Structure formats: structure tokens, C-alpha cells
Amino acid sequence: MLRELLDARRGEDLDLWARSINPQFVRVLRTIDFDRTWARAEGAYLFDEDGKRYLDMLGGFGMYNVGRNNPRVRAALVEALELETPGMLAMGTTLLPGLLAEQLIELAGGRIERCLFTSTGTEAVEAALKLGRAATKRERVISCEHGFHGLTLGALSANGCPEFTDRFQPLLPGFAQVPFGDLGALEAELRREDVAIFLVEPIQGKGVHLPPDGYLQGAQELCRRYGTLFAVDEVQTGFGRTGRMFAFEHWGLEPDLVPVAKSLSGGYVPVGGLLMSRAVHEAVFDSMEHAVSHGSTFAPNELGMAAGLATLQELRDRRLVEESARLGEKLLKLTRPLVEDFEVASEVRGLGLMWAIEFTEPKSGRTSWRLIERMQKGLFAQLVVVPLFTRHRILTQVAGHNMAVVKVLPPLCLSDEDVEEFAEALHATVKSAQRMPKSLTKFALSAASAGVRR
């Protein structure tokens, strides 16, 4: 049935989306020439309807750590369906959720002793906010400027990106942001001893900003001192993305709350979770009366749990976490010379396979730079992303609104040849973009006038 339906309507992808889901998004795709009709995907590659292969350096915004259409995860889902497991019992338990929770708790270590499953990352953040406030009997939440924690109302209130928050004011009361990396500003908030949670991304996804030395350790110590829960948002950085299973391991942290999601199911099934300390959990689920103080209809579902178990096994068996660390070092080694080669490239940074390049106004070509930046700040990065896609068939993204930053979050199953292909294509693309030929400048002005937003 499904195959027949797809065959009968093949080629209508963009038009159907425009008519029934989001016409403005389709307008963006067509403006930047990203309007392909996709036929299939495998590992780190996408294939269009003409059979052309594209290197996926975006990975569904970090969903496909074990690769697109991973065979092990697919087989686990098929097996789960064939087993006809009981599924959601509502008033009962099944084995698969406990098995996945057990493994996640063991991997996180430290203070983490309980797991509450969700369907998405923003839902995991919502759970952290709700449970953390109840556990501490405090109302305030502190997060960081430019941090991204989701788009539902509670997570959005902690979101530090004005391009997402401004149009939806007023948000929830009791939320405030401090500069990422500023321990003094954080302590000024925490010393009031009314802050329930400090929520922070270990590496800020918008722009791939790494923390200053000692910042996360210092933030954890301040949280302990003032009775605030330390919540590390690993929705994007978790499951090998940075070369460790969880990014907080790089700094030896022991958070109280850890939202996870994205790649937990290998990209097949919506699934997330809130990992937390026993103290937080027992402060909320403190009696039989409060046994169902929080939950979600489809979490934990059997397919999500089966996919999660298979994903963790795939990460272990193929040593993808170690590969992320190794390939990330290679990617930095191959791309850092761009800063010396091109005055428009100001910094290359990253950890594991979470990588970005930032651009700045060059000494030569200032007029063209200022012209396109006046139309829309950060638009130069689009002059790199679009040719990488259209000329080299490599999918990347602009890292954030008003940022001249290109970011990648590829599947961890990249090959050495893939990394080399990307580095070579990037070098050629930046070289061309720095000259800002008329064709690229014309495109930039067209995109800006069409209102393309990242």
C-alpha cells in the first residue's frame, strides 16, 4: 500500500508540503536552490530522484549519529513489531523501557540514577524544568544567552535566542539568561538562593561555541554552593557527537539533570529522556499518590525503546564514539588552515563531529561584504552553504540567525574520504565566495530580499 501510494504521487513532495504544511519553508528551499526531490538515504549519504549522491554533513540536525536508515536499528524495529509486545499498558510495565533506562543510567554515571522517557528533546527540557522546580521548591530558572533548548513554551522561556523568542512574548515568568562563560554573572543570580535550575548546553549549538576553560566546572560548583540543580542539555551533544558518549564527560561533570533525545533512536522514532539524580526524582515522585506526577502518552513506547537499545549497541560495536573523536581531529586539522589561507575565515572550531567555521569582513572586498551584510546580517555564510550543495553536493547549514557561521553535524559513520571530500570542497567554496563574484552577490541580494531566514 505505502509503496503504491508513493509511486502514484512521486514528485509531488514540495508542492504537497507547500499546500498543506508550510509554504514559507518551501519558498526558502526554492530560493536557495535546495528544492531537491529525495529518493533514498543510506549512512552518510542522500540520493535524489536522479540518483545523484549527496554527502550529508547536517545529519538531520544531529539525529543520525549511527547513519541514515541504519540496518541494525531497522532490524530491531522489525523484530519488535513481529514480537507483538504489549506496548503501552498505562497501568503496567514492560521490559524494554527498563532495559534502555538501565543502560542510559550506566552510561551517564555520577549522580544519575533515574530515567524518565519523553518523545522529544524539548519535552525532556520541559520535564527538567517542571521536576527541578518541584524538587527544589524554587521558581527561577537561569540559562545562557544564545542557548537553544527547544520551542515549546517552557523550553522557549529558557531559550536565549531572540529570533525564536521575541515574537512570542510574554513568555513564562521566572526565567533569565546570563552570558555563556561568565561565572560572575551566574553567581550574581545564584546567590539569591531562589534559582531552581541552571540549564546549559555544554557546547552551544548555535554557532558551536565551546565553553571557556573552567567554566562548566565552575558553574557546577556554584550550583552546589547555592542549592541550584545543575542541568546539562545533551539533546544535540549526546551519544558520541563530541567524541564522548556525553559531552559533559570532557569536563568531568556530574549533573543533576540531563535531557537527551535526537539520535537516541538512530533517527527512526521520536524518543527522548530526562536522566536525573535519585534525589530529584524522589523529591517529586515521593509517594504512591504522586506516582504519576509526570508522563507522556507515547513515552516510553516499545518501538522507541527497541530503537534506543539498537542505537547504543551500534555505537559500541562500531566504536562510533571513538570514530567521532578521531575524525573530528582530522576535520579540524584539514580545515584550520583556511584561517591562514583566506582573510574572510576568522575561526574554525569544534569538538568531535560538531564543527563550525566563522567568517568576518575581509580587508579586500569590504564593499561587497558590507552590501550583503546590510541586507541581512550573516548572509555571507549562505554564499558558502549554497555552492557546497549545488556544486559539490554536500549538505551543510548556516549555524544561526545573523551568524556568518557554517556548521556541520554529520553522521558518525563518515569515512576518512568523506572528511577529505568536505575539506577540499570547503576550500574551493570559500576561495570563490571570498572573491564575491557578481553571481554570488546577486544570489545573496535575491535571498535577502526574499526574506530567507536561518
Position 363, amino acid? K
Residue with cell 541552571: 198
The boundaries of every CATH 3.90.1150.10 domain in the chain are 21-51+319-449
The pTM score is 0.94
Q: What is the CATH number of domain 71-317?
A: 3.40.640.10
Whether the bond into 23 is cis, omega within 30 of 0? no
pLDDT of residue 371: 74
Least Cα distance to 227 among 155, 177, 280 occurs for 280
Separation CA 438–CA 248 (nearest Å): 45
pLDDT of residue 445: 58
Least Cα distance to 132 among 251, 206, 233, 216 occurs for 233
Structure confidence by residue, pLDDT tens digits, 373-385: 777 777 888 889 9
Stretches where the chain sits below pLDDT 50 are 453-454
Task: Report the residue count for the chain.
Answer: 454
For Cα atoms 225, 230, 235, give the angle at the middle one, nearest 5 degrees.
Answer: 165
**53-56: strand order across its sheet:** 38-42, 45-48, 53-56, 394-395
Separation CA 357–CA 331 (nearest Å): 11
pLDDT of residue 101: 98
Q: Which helix (H) or strand (E) holds 409?
A: none
- The separation between CA 359 and the C-alpha centre of its own chain, rounded to angstroms, equals 22
Separation CA 279–CA 307 (nearest Å): 29
Summary count for the chain: helices (H), strands (E): 19, 15
Three-class secondary structure of residue 431 per DSSP: helix
Beta-ladder partners of 357? 348, 406
pLDDT of residue 453: 46
Separation CA 343–CA 205 (nearest Å): 25
What DSSP assignment string belongs to 91-145?
SS--HHHHHHHHHHHHHH-TTEEEEEEESSHHHHHHHHHHHHHHHHT--EEEEET
Largest CA distance in the chain: 70
Average pLDDT of the chain is 93
Beta carbons within 10 angstroms of residue 113's beta carbon: 16
Q: Are 229 and 276 in contact (CB under 8 A)?
A: no
In CATH terms, the fold of domain 21-51+319-449 is Aspartate Aminotransferase, domain 1 (3.90.1150)
